[in-house]
Amino acid sequence: MNGNRDQRSWLERVWTGLLWGLMTLFVVNIALMIASVTTNSFARRWLGTWLPEGWTTTWYTEAWREFQLGDVLWVTVEVVFAVVFLALLVGVPAAYTLARRDFLGKRLLMLLFLLPLMVPPITYGIPMATVLYQVHLAGTIWGVILANLIPAAPFVILVMTPFIEQIDANLESAARVFGASTGRMFVHVLVPLLAPGILAASLLVLVRTIALFELTFLTAGSDSQTLVVALYYAVFAAGVRAPQSVDAMAMVYMMVTLVWLLIALRFVNPTQLVSRVKEHPQGAI
């Protein structure tokens, strides 16, 4: 009996150690990967040694000039904020309906909103790009925005539905008893209560949209590239350019996403993405 317990705790310790080892390996390697990109972007010459021979910041100014980073960053900002705004505009009301009402075809509607997240972006991206080219939207910034909205709007719905379900419906009933219309109830009761959820959803959409490659790649023209697509072309045509200047661009890209992710993580607990955790036991369970 006693020996059995000893054996089990020993096994448990090995198992825990193994998991920590795995996590450390993963994190350390990624940190080193990022560090090597950082080092290279400041390196004067770096060939097969531990550290480069000298340090410089010229790659950043060069990348800025060569890749027209100013324009690319501006396009990225425009696309990302338009996508976040429009996704919230169509997504939040739809999430409200799905959270509060039961109606015929609700499951079908949920499938419609889940499907874009379940089908590879290239699969619907290619027919969609074809359609967008026919209506002369592809290659423009609007084409890019519309393409990015396809996964963004369902994502908002997916995140917001459980958020809305948590809000006590009695508050809305109370507002109605006092004669508020749906619109006023939305503005004065729901939006203030939903603010944390809306913030979380918009930050997550923002981070996802910055990183989303395939759809932007398929629909962007030369003057509507976002940062990630410009980075792809820079790496793809790497033979022509100094790797350091590509790495400098990668650093700019990483800084942009990292800042937003850290802001997002201040407001969103990552464990509460799918639904809230019960932190306070409620009554008798």
Partner 1 sequence: MSGEGPPRDANYAPPAGSAVASPEAARVAVHFDRTLLLAVPATLFMLLLFIYPFLYGLALSFTPPKGDWLANYRTFFSSDHLWPTIWTTLRLALPATLINVGIALPIAYKMRVKSRYQRWITTILVVPITLGTVLIAEGMLTYFGPKGWLAQFLQWAHLYDGSIRLTHNYWGVLISLVISGFPFAFLLILSYITGIDPVLARAASTLGANPLAQFRHIYLPLLAPGLAMCFCLAFVQAFSVFPSAVLLGAPAGPTRVISIAAYEAAFEQYDYSLASAIAMIMGFVQLLIVAAVLGLRNFFYRGPVTGGKG
Q: List C-alpha distances in Å: 19 to 14, 30, 243, 252, 285.
A: 9, 17, 36, 33, 32
Provide the minimum distance between the beta carbon of 213 and partner 1 in the complex, in angstroms, as a whole number. Answer: 6
> Which residues in the 5-24 window bind partner 1 by CB under 8 A?
8, 12, 16, 19, 22-23
How far from each other are the two terminal CA atoms of the chain, in whole angstroms? 34
Taking CB under 8 A as the binding criterion, the range among 68-76, 77-85, 146-154, 194-202 that sits at the site for partner 1 is 146-154
Site for partner 1 in 32-51 (CB under 8 A): 32-34, 36-37, 40, 47-48, 50
Quickly list H helices, the chain.
Answer: 2-41, 58-66, 69-100, 106-118, 121-134, 141-166, 169-177, 182-185, 191-211, 214-219, 227-236, 243-267
Residues in CB range of 214: below 8 A, 6 or more apart? 121, 122, 125
State which of positions 214-273 bind partner 1 (CB under 8 A).
214, 217-218, 228, 231-232, 235-236, 243, 246-247, 250, 253-254, 257-258, 260-261, 265, 269-273
Which residues in 105-124 contact partner 1 (CB under 8 A)?
109, 112-113, 115-124
**Binding residues for partner 1 restricted to 52-81, rule: CB under 8 A:** none
Cβ 278 to partner 1 shortest distance, Å: 7
Asked if residue 160 binds partner 1 (CB under 8 A), the reply is no
